[in-house]
Amino acid sequence: MRLLKYPDGRLTEEPSDKLSADVRSAVELVDASLLLVFDEGGITGHSDHVRATEIATAVAGEIGIPVLGWALPEAIAAQLNDEFAATFVGRHREEIDLSVEVDRSRSTGRSVVMPVSRARIPCSGADWSFKAIGSLRWLDPGHAMVGSQPSA
């Protein structure tokens, strides 16, 4: 992961070509064969997350690599919205293409930072955090799951 120094909440003000160049640079740097982005809607509805996903998905389409979006199951999004008065966007089970099992026994007890509320929740005590981390869906229609590999 590479963090760039764009002002929080103002990514929509940045020129698309500048953002696209940053994504292309990162893809080239690591010779990426897949991009992992926020789900459409940005998970939280945050404008920066939505914009980052839009730009990365467009670049991936131009380059010809698949895009997986980190998605939240509906039940987890609803729980987070209730607990944090947030605007998380959830997906129906049938919309989630890939689930990654997370081994709870390897938890270090570190905190998860919630992007909307900035609240810290200990991983070891929050069931939703383990379920939410591993939900992914294809954002580019040209790719579908065959086993665990994308196919064009």
Task: Please state, in angstroms and as integers, the Cα–Cα distance from residue 30 to each residue in 22, 34, 35, 69, 105, following that order.
Answer: 13, 11, 11, 19, 31
* Cβ–Cβ under 8 Å, residues 151 and 142: no
Q: Which tens digits make up the pLDDT trace of 63-82? A: 999 999 989 889 888 988 99
Q: Which tens digits make up the pLDDT trace of 44-56? A: 888 999 999 999 9
